[in-house]
Amino acid sequence: MAWKGIGIFDSGVGGLTVLKEIMKTLPQEDTIYFGDSARFPYGTKSPDTIVRYSHEIAAFLSHRDIKLLVVACNTASAMALESLKQQYDMPIVGVIEPGARRAVTVTRTGRVGVIGTEGTIRSGAYTKAIKRMNPEVEVLTRACPLFVPLAEEGWVDNDVARLTANRYLQGLKEEGVDTLVLGCTHYPLLKGIISEVMGEGVTLVDSAEETARTVAEILRGRALLRPSAERGNHHYFVTDVPAGFIRIGNRLFGGKLGDVFQVSLDDPELAGRGAVHEES
């Protein structure tokens, strides 16, 4: 039997945090990761543009015969998830619902902070999801646009990151939130700095773990899981020169990421025939 893989996409490296949890939860599964690094960041783009980008990437991945698609980008989850679900028969999982569910579960005081890109915060997607699960929870939001380029640059533990985090998060800290949703998959790369600024009393919610659990439940429910004795293969595609992606990916995974293909989305059926780039 030919087993299909799991498709995962993000605007850049942030979705690797979701991939890492999926690999941990489902080590037997093949994955195909797509980072749209040439058109990053998504957070400042219009909803129409995000929807178009998302459909182009979904077409690329669907041509590689995937069995489930993970929209590992909060902005794309907020803007394009429903449109993608209407277009494709396969299960499609976003990162907002799992993150919201986790926040509602762990908050003790009912005061939840959400940080994300301008697009995600403007959409109100997290507030709507949390309120749908528990109308009593108070949701305070803050856009933190500079966190994404800091994460992409690898500036996750220096004075610039620390000053930026203090500027963005001080208000939420003063408001007394006890739970903070990292509403962008890039933000877990800055988890150390964010935790340092918010203090020990604040629980950080990274939707990656909850998303991986959701993926496992769906595949199990549809009898689509590979045998547990198998070991998955992992493939990476990006739209810009892969050097920065490989550098951050190696740091996140604690070793060599492997082959990363630079591709064009102009023709999803032909994309992927370009050169392979590797770095140690």
pLDDT at res. 251: 86
List the catalytic residue out of 32, 184, 198, 208.
Answer: 184
Is 73 tagged catalytic? Answer: yes
Q: At 42, list the tokens.
A: 């998504």
Mean pLDDT confidence for 130-147:
97
CA atoms within 13 A on the CB side of 130: 28
Q: Which of 19, 73, 238, 260 is labelled catalytic?
A: 73
% of the chain surpassing 90 pLDDT: 77
**Backbone phi, psi, residue 166, to 5°:** -60, -45
Domains of the chain, earliest start first: 5-94+209-277 (3.40.50.1860), 96-207 (3.40.50.1860)
Structure tokens at 33: 């990761």
pLDDT digits (tens, 9 = 90+) for 156-204: 999 999 999 999 999 999 999 999 999 998 899 899 999 999 999 999 9
Asked if 154 and 248 count as a contact pair (C-beta separation under 8 A), the reply is yes
144 is catalytic: no
pTM of the model: 0.87
Q: Give pLDDT, residue 279.
A: 43
Which run of H or of E encompasses 7? strand 5-10
Nearest to 10 by CA among 161, 213, 184: 184
Q: Distance between CA 27 and CA 45 in Å, rounded? A: 34
**Sign (positive or negative) of CA dihedral 117, 123, 129, 132:** positive
Q: Are 18 and 208 in contact (CB under 8 A)?
A: yes
